[in-house]
Amino acid sequence: MQERPASPTLGLMERAALVTGGAQGIGDAIVKALLEAGYAVASVDKDGEALLEQQERLATYRGYLPIEADIAFQEGIARAVRLTLERFGRLHGLVNNAAVSADTPLHALSRQEWEAVLAVNLTAPCFLAQACAPHLAATRGAIVNICSTRALMSEPHTEAYSASKGGLLALTHALAVSLGPRVRVNAVSPGWIEVRDRKKRALRQEVHHTEEDALQHPAGRVGVPEDIARMVLFLLDPANDFITGQNFVIDGGMTRKMIYV
């Protein structure tokens, strides 16, 4: 993907955010919601094809900045932060959304798979927070980590993913204590959020939910990416500056439901 030409830094009142894994699914919804709320947004993703398609959809937003970078590596983290600051001049929000999984049975799980999941899901958020912290402190900004209900409960063969999200949840409150009071840090833990229809064209699927899919949720439906995006907007809002170190579960009530066979 070609670099966008440099443009003037933000106006005095405009807020800026960096979103990882921003080109598809929940990340795409977060990027769009932030742009519509008046933020300038750097959408960071390693999938250049997905970023190009997003750029087609969001080209009318002056504050949209696509950045192709692989945050599994320190060089990708440095590139994402550098290009964001070069374009916007300051930073008010970091949304650690990028995640990968390895649904491999424990007996077959390789160390390489384990480390690849933790590199994106846990290590990258830590070092993105490190890189962004001085800039967020300057604006009294906030970090939102997109965690998962898998930090609290599991399905079979999710050891790497569940461990990474459990670690991210712990990292959230550790960062909140270390970076407070100038930077707030919170987590959002999605449950079943339907994203198959929010992928790039090559991966997009038509979605059909059964009545059972919907009604097993106390809320009566499967979640959509905008459910998470709205909470991210709330947590980035400086008016909510008494909220830090918290985890907000958005799962239609599923983790509050007792299920017996």
Using alpha carbons only, how large is the chain's radius of gyration in Å? 18
SS3 72: coil
Q: Taking CA 64 as the corner, what is the angle to CA 183 and CA 200, rounded to the nearest 5 degrees?
A: 105
In terms of Cβ atoms closer than 10 Å to its own Cβ (0-12, 13-18, 19+), residue 25 is buried
Q: If you search the block for the tokens 């002056």, which residue do you land on?
A: 62
Residue 45 forms beta bridges with which residues?
68
Does the active-site annotation cover 161?
Answer: yes
Of all helices (H) and strands (E), which one includes residue 65? strand 64-68
SS3 50: helix
SS3 70: coil
- H helices then E strands: how many in the chain? 8, 7
Choose, from 39, 61, 64, 161, the residue flagged as catalytic.
161
Distance CA 129, CA 126 (A): 5
DSSP state, 193? Answer: B
Closest CA to 145 of 123, 160, 116: 123
Residues with catalytic annotation?
A: 161
